[in-house]
């Protein structure tokens, strides 16, 4: 094994661009690991953690680009680093050149702007966000690694200025039909959405679009907003914005489990909301008292159905049960398993899908271990090693620090698919594929070879591996939804256009295997 690095002085790129370059480098034959980072103190620590250390790295500045490669041979390392300009050029070839180098430069060129997107290293993001708020701009804060205290200060300041801070670690928003971050192509309409999670917003907006309806605005809040430390400041501000918006006829909230104090405060606010509100708070088991205009949805699919019911001119047909064809798939799958096969392993690019799947499994009395568990007693001691039924959020910091997110680069998930496929007790693999802007242009193609190899390995042992997948996307997304679906089906994968339905299908298979009689979902 060999390693090397290159430092490019004063050559700054944002995190989404860097993840795409890292993906291009990881595809090179013989490359085992790479890091494409700006020279912040946090990123220098990440390089040290993978064994890349040097005094030149210590001296690097936050505006310096650092590219490190670990590969099979020194020649491969040298070849990759010598082609760095080619990799960078491939990443920018569709982007027009810019001479803007600061927030001030951008504001001077677009003095009428009302929103700024920030994607700089976390230790500098709060400073830039504060500048934007002082200038009267709303903030979409894609950056992560922003401290909770900085987040609270920013959001309190935003409330004083009557502005929104979407984030930190905000993956998705859709403002007036314009997607920011990871977003799908959806039509404009009258459903307003507020979401703590990017993939939750993507699933909801895609399903609403696919059902024939549209979105006024989808406002991301960041994953910590509904914690008791932050108190739902962005969520409450977004409610005010959507309530006053003449285009919005129904408001939907999507989140993981909020803090108890924040949920109580939010419930009181919802009692006075003039618009009908649908709330999907994954993980909550008790009732929510939030007034007569509030309807609770247990799952994202339910939230879509309840929301469109509020605005539809006529009753809308909603397929929430398995079709006869889907029911027919079950017996042949179960009959092909060996006597050892009994566990589900879910490997997710979307954290919300990991969380929602756990809720569905829990409701079916199928407890699952996870690196992001609903119940702490089911926390994986080692996220890289599954136990019994396991679902893993591969977008967690454990997998993404210094590496591309799995929505951009599927290589880590492919390796995990192969590892789970080697376990003779695994019966089902549950996967998600997320389309849209800034995501991989071929998410299925990146994983399909691994899926087929894992299925072949199970057959050689005398069993069969059932692979179930959900695809989040629309026909207008650049990846071609129909093509991605067809590729999976031709590879022997059972495909649903809903994470919830895919998870229910896995539960039904396990229940039937154990002698249960329920083959449909409630």
Spell 225-258 as b/e; 16+ CB within 10 A means b. Answer: bbbeebbbbbbbbbbebbbebeebbbbbbbbbbb
Query: Is the pLDDT at 522 greater than 70, yes or no?
Result: no
Rounded to 5°, angle at Cα 216 from 211 and 219: 105
What's the CA gap between 494 and 467, in Å, rounded?
6
Averaged confidence pLDDT in the chain: 92
Query: Is the pLDDT at 516 greater than 50, yes or no?
Result: no
What's the CA gap between 519 and 32, in Å, rounded?
43
Q: What is the pLDDT of residue 359?
A: 97
Taking only the tens place, the pLDDT of each residue in 30-43 is: 998 888 888 888 78
Closest CA to 279 of 261, 306, 248, 242: 306
Contact between residue 124 and residue 144 where contact means Cβ atoms under 8 Å apart: no
Q: What is the pLDDT of residue 122?
A: 80
Per cent of the chain over pLDDT 70 is 96
Q: What is the pLDDT of residue 102?
A: 76
Taking only the tens place, the pLDDT of each residue in 157-172 is: 999 999 999 999 999 9
Under the banding of pLDDT at 50, 70 and 90, the label for residue 129 is: very high
DSSP H or E stretch at residue 79: helix 74-82
What's the CA gap between 189 and 177, in Å, rounded?
9
Q: What is the pLDDT of residue 156?
A: 98
| pTM to 2 decimal places | 0.86
Taking only the tens place, the pLDDT of each residue in 217-272 is: 999 999 999 999 999 999 999 999 999 999 999 999 999 989 999 999 999 999 99
What's the CA gap between 219 and 234, in Å, rounded?
9
Find the DSSP H helices in 27-67: 41-49, 55-59
Query: Is the pLDDT at 397 greater than 90, yes or no?
Result: no
Q: What is the pLDDT of residue 91?
A: 59
Closest CA to 36 of 55, 58, 21, 52: 21
Mean pLDDT confidence for 490-510: 97
What's the CA gap between 225 and 413, in Å, rounded?
28
Query: Is the pLDDT at 12 greater than 90, yes or no?
Result: no
Taking only the tens place, the pLDDT of each residue in 46-103 is: 788 888 999 999 999 888 899 999 999 999 999 999 988 888 877 554 555 567 777 8
Query: Domains in the chain and their CATH numbers?
Result: 2-92 (3.30.1360), 104-311 (3.40.50.261), 324-513 (3.40.50.261)
- Side by side, the strands of the sheet bearing 65-71 are 2-8, 65-71, 31-38
Mean pLDDT confidence for 353-371: 97
Q: What is the pLDDT of residue 214?
A: 97
Question: 81-90, 244-253, 476-485, 512-521: which range is least confident on average?
Answer: 512-521
Two structure tokens written together for 200: 């939750």
Cα-based torsion angle of the residue sequence 164, 227, 435, 385 in order, rounded to the nearest 10 degrees: 150
What's the CA gap between 28 and 71, in Å, rounded?
10
Q: What is the pLDDT of residue 151?
A: 97
> What phi and psi, each to the nearest 5 degrees, are found at residue 378?
-105, 20
Q: What is the pLDDT of residue 105?
A: 83
Two structure tokens written together for 338: 């060996």
DSSP string across 386-453? --SSEEEETTSHHHHTTS--TTT--HHHHHHHHHHHT-TTEEEEEEEEE-SBTS-S-HHHHHHHHHHH
Under the banding of pLDDT at 50, 70 and 90, the label for residue 316 is: confident
Residue with tokens 């039904």: 508
Q: Which residue has the higher pLDDT, 280 or 108?
A: 280
Contact between residue 513 and residue 432 where contact means Cβ atoms under 8 Å apart: no
Q: What is the pLDDT of residue 519?
A: 40
Mean pLDDT confidence for 421-447: 96
Q: What is the pLDDT of residue 85?
A: 87
Query: Is the pLDDT at 521 greater than 50, yes or no?
Result: no
Residue 264: Cβ within 10 Å count: 13
- Side by side, the strands of the sheet bearing 390-393 are 369-370, 390-393, 343-348, 426-434, 466-472, 494-496
Taking only the tens place, the pLDDT of each residue in 372-393 is: 999 999 999 999 999 999 999 9
């Amino acid at each position: 094994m060999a390693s090397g690095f290159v430092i490019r002085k004063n050559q700054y790129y944002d995190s989404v661009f860097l993840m795409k370059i890292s993906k291009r480098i990881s595809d090179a034959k013989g490359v085992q690991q790479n890091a494409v980072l700006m020279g912040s103190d946090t990123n220098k620590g990440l390089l040290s953690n993978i064994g890349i250390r040097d005094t030149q790295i210590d001296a690097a500045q936050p505006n310096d680009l650092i590219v490190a490669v670990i590969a099979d041979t020194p020649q491969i390392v040298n070849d990759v680093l010598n082609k760095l300009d080619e990799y960078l050029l491939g990443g920018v070839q569709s982007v027009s050149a810019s001479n803007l180098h600061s927030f001030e430069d951008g504001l001077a060129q677009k003095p009428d702007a009302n929103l700024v997107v920030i994607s700089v290293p976390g230790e500098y993001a709060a400073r830039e966000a504060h500048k934007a708020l002082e200038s009267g701009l709303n903030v979409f804060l894609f950056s992560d690694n922003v401290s909770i205290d900085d987040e609270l200060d920013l959001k309190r300041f935003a409330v004083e200025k009557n502005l929104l801070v979407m984030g930190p670690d905000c993956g998705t928003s859709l403002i007036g039909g314009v997607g920011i971050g990871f977003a799908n192509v959806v039509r404009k309409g009258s459903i307003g959405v507020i979401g703590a999670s990017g993939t939750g917003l993507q699933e909801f907006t895609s399903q609403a679009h696919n059902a024939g309806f549209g979105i006024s605005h989808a406002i991301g809040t960041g994953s910590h907003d509904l914690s008791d430390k932050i108190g739902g400041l962005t969520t409450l501000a977004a409610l005010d914005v959507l309530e006053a918006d003449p285009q919005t006829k129904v408001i939907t909230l999507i989140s993981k489990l909020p803090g108890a104090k924040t949920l109580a405060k939010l419930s009181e606010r919802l009692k006075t909301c003039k618009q009908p509100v649908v709330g999907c708070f994954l993980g909550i088991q008790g009732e929510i008292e939030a007034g007569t205009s509030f309807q609770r949805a247990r799952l994202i699919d339910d939230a879509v159905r309840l929301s469109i019911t509020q605005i539809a001119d006529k009753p809308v047909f909603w397929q929430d049960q398995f079709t006869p064809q889907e029911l027919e798939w079950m017996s042949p799958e179960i009959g092909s398993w060996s006597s050892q096969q009994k566990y589900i392993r879910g490997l997710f690019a979307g954290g919300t899908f990991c969380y929602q799947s756990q809720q569905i499994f829990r409701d079916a009395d199928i407890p699952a271990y996870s690196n992001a568990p609903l119940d702490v007693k089911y926390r994986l001691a080692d996220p890289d090693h599954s136990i019994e039924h396991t679902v893993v959020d591969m977008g967690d910091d454990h997998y993404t620090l210094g590496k591309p997110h799995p929505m951009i680069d599927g290589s880590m998930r492919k390796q995990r698919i192969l590892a789970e496929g080697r376990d003779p007790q695994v019966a089902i693999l549950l996967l998600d594929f997320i389309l849209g802007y800034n995501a991989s242009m071929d998410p299925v193609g990146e994983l399909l070879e691994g899926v087929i190899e894992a299925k072949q390995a199970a057959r050689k042992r005398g069993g069969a591996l059932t692979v179930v997948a959900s695809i989040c996307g629309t026909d207008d997304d650049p990846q071609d939804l129909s093509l991605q679906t067809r590729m999976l089906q031709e590879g022997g994968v059972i495909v649903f256009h809903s994470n919830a339905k895919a998870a229910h299908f896995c539960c039904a298979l396990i229940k039937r295997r154990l002698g249960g009689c329920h083959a449909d979902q409630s």
